[in-house]
Structure 1
Amino acid sequence: MEKQQSKDPLHGITLKTILEKLVDHYGFDTLGEIVNIKCFNENPSIKSSLTFLRKTEWARKKVEELYLNTQSKFKN
Structure 2
Amino acid sequence: MEGNIAELGKYIGVGLTAIGMGGAAIGVGNVAGSYLSGALRNPSAAASQTATLFIGMAFAEALGIFSFLVALLLMFAV
Normalising by the residue count of structure 1, what TM-score does the alignment of the two structures yield?
A: 0.25
Q: Which has the larger radius of gyration?
A: 2
Higher helix share: 2
TM-score after normalising by structure 2: 0.25
